[in-house]
């Protein structure tokens, strides 16, 4: 296996920049001239759930703030709140780009009766 041309401090700086960039590993690697293989997780990385549980709007805000205000990683947030890494990342990006209103669940509200109100 070839050795990386980056020392440990440089690798940590690159990974920190990647975490803050909110772009894909491949996009980041191409933009910064680094090998994307050096940015991927090692096999010993702790696994987090791949399926998200149902969350409330308030929980999504709490997850976003856990990452942005308290400087935790997406992996830490996913593990702590028991949601997927991808979902935690998605909520943070949505909130940063469009504000907390982007975290509102767009799923159709459950109907309490079989009737549909067609007036109006």
Terminal CA-CA length for the chain: 69
CB 64 within 8 A of CB 103: yes
Question: Alpha-carbon dihedral of residues 62, 87, 96, 42, nearest 10 degrees?
Answer: 100
Q: Is the pTM of this model over 0.95?
A: no
Using CA atoms, how far apart are residues 38 and 94, in angstroms rounded to an integer? Answer: 27
Query: What would the two tokens of residue 113 be?
Result: 């009766």
pLDDT tens digits, residue range 60-113?
A: 999 999 999 999 999 999 999 999 999 999 999 999 999 999 999 887 565 444
């Amino acid at each position: 296996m070839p050795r990386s041309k980056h020392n440990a401090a440089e690798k940590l700086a690159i990974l920190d920049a990647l975490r803050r960039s909110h772009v894909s590993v491949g996009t980041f690697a191409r933009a910064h001239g680094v090998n994307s293989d050096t940015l991927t997780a090692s096999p010993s990385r702790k696994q987090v759930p791949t399926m998200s549980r149902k969350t409330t709007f308030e929980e999504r805000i709490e997850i976003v703030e856990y990452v942005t205000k308290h400087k935790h990683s997406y992996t830490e947030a996913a593990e702590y709140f028991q949601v997927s890494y991808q979902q935690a990342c998605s909520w943070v990006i949505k909130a940063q780009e469009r504000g907390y209103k982007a975290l509102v669940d767009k799923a159709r509200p459950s109907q309490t009766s079989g009737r549909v109100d067609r007036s109006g």
